[in-house]
Copies of this chain bind each other. A is one copy, B any other.
Amino acid sequence: MKIGILGTGEVGQVLGAGFANLGHEVKMGSRDPNQEKVKAWVNKTGAKASSGAFAEAAAYGELVVLCTLWAGTENVIRLADPRNLAGKVVIDTINPLDFSAGVPPKLAIGHTDSAGEQVQRWLPDSRVVKAFNTVGNPHMIKPEFPGGPPDMFICGNDDQAKETVTGLLKAFGWSVIDMGGIEEARYLEPLAMLWIHHYFRTNSGNHAFKLLRK
């Protein structure tokens, strides 16, 4: 599968490399595809990796992964052009973090809305699936924990899109729990806050959620 990554931060780099390692072809989109960190990522990731402008990566991907900071997301979607994402599965990894009062961050949006719902509104013709937002990037690929595998909670309005994303998550070693429509992002984004606040309390990011079941 051809996968477009929108964003050049750690999440984009980790997921892009993870997808390339699964055998997918990955194009990392950014404002400046010639910036050093993008070139370094392409070189390190190998023959499956390439780079381009946001719109190029969006057009390239059969599936596209949003890995932007919340504050820049609306603009990145405009640069990527929603028409390039129409009909496609778009994985939304974003947490709407507000660092205005320092760390740990608070949620910039919530309760009656969420980043996931906002992304779906910005991309009305795309099939948005919230995923990867409830764990730190060092554990997004092949998470290894005593008592694992951990559970990745996902949500989205399109069942087929969620099946596609579930397949990718399972290939990465996750157990997957589908929570329902994209409005469930109202609860997945606060779950990320528990992850993040625990990180700040313990100075460790070596944790991941599991829903014990019987």
Task: State which size class the interface on A falls in.
Answer: 35 or more
Smallest CB separation, A101 vs chain B (Å): 11
Q: Which of A55-96 contact B (CB under 8 A)?
A: none
Is A172's CB within 8 Å of the partner chain B?
A: no
Is A141's CB within 8 Å of the partner chain B?
A: no
Residue of B nearest to A184 (CB): B197
Q: Are B214 and A212 in contact (CB under 8 A)?
A: no
Is A148's CB within 8 Å of the partner chain B?
A: yes
Smallest CB separation, A199 vs chain B (Å): 11
Q: Out of B178, B194, B207, B211, which one reaches A207, CB within 8 Å? A: B211
Residue of B nearest to A195 (CB): B211
Please, which residues of chain B bring their CB within 8 A of the CB of A179? 194, 197-198, 201
Of the listed stretches A6-14, A19-27, A185-193, name the one at the interface; the rest are far from the partner chain: A185-193
Q: Are B214 and A153 in contact (CB under 8 A)?
A: no
Bound-complex Cα distance A146 to B210 (A): 11
Q: Which 7 A-B pairs have the closest CB atoms?
A: A110-B111, A111-B111, A190-B190, A145-B212, A187-B190, A187-B193, A207-B213
